[in-house]
Structure formats: C-alpha cells, structure tokens
A = this chain, B = another copy of it.
Amino acid sequence: MQAIRGIIGYALRRAQLSVFDDLIQTLEEFHLRPANFSVLYVINENPGLNQSEISSALGIQKTNFVQVVDRLEKAELIKRCRAKHDRRSHALYLTDKGAELFYKAREQHKQHEKRMIERLGPNGREQLLPLLWRLTSE
C-alpha cells in the first residue's frame, strides 16, 4: 500500500468523492444536487424549522444557504413562510410538488445507499457510521 493511503484525511476525501460520484448520478434525473436533497430531507422530517436552524444542522453557512433556498423555492419545491412569533425568521415547508419529488428521489437514494452498503460488506455500515461521527467535531 502507498503510504498516503494510510492518511485519514486522504482516505476520507477519496471515499467521499467516490460516494458522491454515485450520489450525484443518482439524483441527476431529479435535478437535485446532494445539498438540495439533504435540505428536502431535513424539511420533510422537521417541517417549520427556520433557515438558520436548518443550515446550522446541515453545517451550511447561512449566507450560502440563502441561494440554496432561493433555488428550491423558485423550483416550487419548498416555500418560505414568515413566522408569526418572530417576523424576522422564515419557516420552511415542502410544497406538494416538493414532497412528491422528494419521495421519488428518496426511493432512488435508497438504491444508492444499498450500493454503498454492498461496497462496505457485512456490518460495514454499522462500524463506519459511529467512527465518522466521532471524527466530526460539531
């Protein structure tokens, strides 16, 4: 083995790029990038969170998150609603069209996830996930 393959950051980066190659291809037919999909995913699970809450949960800066939300709103997949209790913040919801697209994309995403689990082999996912979250300083 080349010594560089023993470097954690290098191995991580190569794995991430490889997984995203498959993921990007998987989501292409829905015109969704991985970040867009993750936003729909969180909104679907937690409708009504505001932009700051979602962007910080996803590790996206609020300033960059604006464009992501703009794009998804323009595509009529989500809607911004002024919160009554704090009129500065925008609660985010899936539109019907957004929910429909998300459910289809999620089905394809499940197939992607199966492919990755096959790459990992028996118990690979169960070993990998906690290690990755230990690396992630939040």
Contacts and interface: CB of A to CB of B under 8 A. Distances in A.
Interface in A35-73: 38, 41-42, 45, 57, 59
B5 A128 contact: no
Interface of A: 2-23, 34, 38, 41-42, 45, 57, 59, 109, 112-113, 116-117, 119-121, 124-125, 127-129, 131-138
Contact of A134 (B13, B121, B132): B121
A30 B36 CA distance: 35
A132 B4 contact: no
Nearest to A5: B133
Contacts of A13: 16, 20, 34
